[in-house]
Amino acid sequence: MANRLLSMGFPVSVYNRSREKAAKLADAGAFVADTPREAAARSEVVIAMVADDAASRDIWLGIDGALAGAIHGSLLMESSTLSVGWVKELNRAATEKSCEFLDAPVTGTKPHAANGELFFMVGGSSVGFSRASEVLSALGREVLHLGPTGSGALIKLINNFVCGVEAAAFAEAMALVNAGGLDREKCIAVLGNSALASPLIKRMLACMESNDFTPSFPLKLMAKDIGYAITEARTCGVPLETAVPALEVFRRAVEQGLGDQDFSAVIKAPPNK
């Protein structure tokens, strides 16, 4: 995302907790800050993209956090996949700093980010959404305003929990193929050309066939997102009855050391007997 903004002519300041990961951005013209506070103090628009609530809280709050350095009236966007409760808390903290806040999670992978083809699901005020249009249009092929604060975060969790359920079900399907003594390659040909062959399933099949599980979306983050979705659904009085067993499938895969591989590696985790 930062590289895309640089390529589109935006002045960019960046902060990464692993500073060496920002070295290429410095070569491309970005200013590499020592703290989130320093990066925010140099910016009219602040965008965060991290793994979970704990990481988000760490980079926004505290004496060296981005909120401490945020300019009065600046636009703050959280594009991570987070819990709705934390997003609303962060919005309140931004309001106290007289800043505009949007939750703006995305769908898409690294190539989509590099080419400005992300899909942004945005929660927040219409004023903030209008202010963000120039930056988000540079980063995304589609930008949709879902409603008030938390709307983007919730639909992203809904999207990811359904993806997780689908992936877990397909992993179990392949376990049944193997246990049933079927011809694996022929079954893959059938399943890959059936009604269930969604883009997600096709990605899992491609990873299987190449035996390449380099993470585009790490498995441990899928587990995190399903867990967040279950928690949020409970606050809304909705039991996600398919999500709970899917989460157990992913947690088992994490326990087996697959957490840093692509989510499709869930297919390598043997079923619980």
Domains of the chain: 2-149 (3.40.50.720), 154-268 (1.10.1040.10)
Per-residue pLDDT, 272: 76
Per-residue pLDDT, 200: 95
On the question of pLDDT at 67 being above 70, the answer is yes
On the question of pLDDT at 134 being above 80, the answer is yes
Per-residue pLDDT, 103: 98
- Residue 246, Cβ neighbours under 10 Å: how many? 27
pLDDT in tens, 208-239: 999 999 999 999 999 999 999 999 999 999 99
* CA–CA gap between residue 248 and residue 83 (Å, rounded): 19
Mean pLDDT calculated for residue range 27-36:
96
Per-residue pLDDT, 130: 98
The dihedral region occupied by 48, where left means phi > 0, alpha psi between -120 and 50, and beta the remainder, is: beta
* CA–CA gap between residue 203 and residue 110 (Å, rounded): 14
CB 266 within 8 Å of CB 253: yes
273 pLDDT tier (thresholds 50, 70, 90) = low
Mean pLDDT calculated for residue range 100-105:
98
Q: Where are the alpha helices (DSSP H) in the chain?
A: 2-7, 23-27, 36-41, 53-60, 66-69, 84-96, 110-114, 126-139, 151-179, 184-191, 199-210, 219-235, 243-253
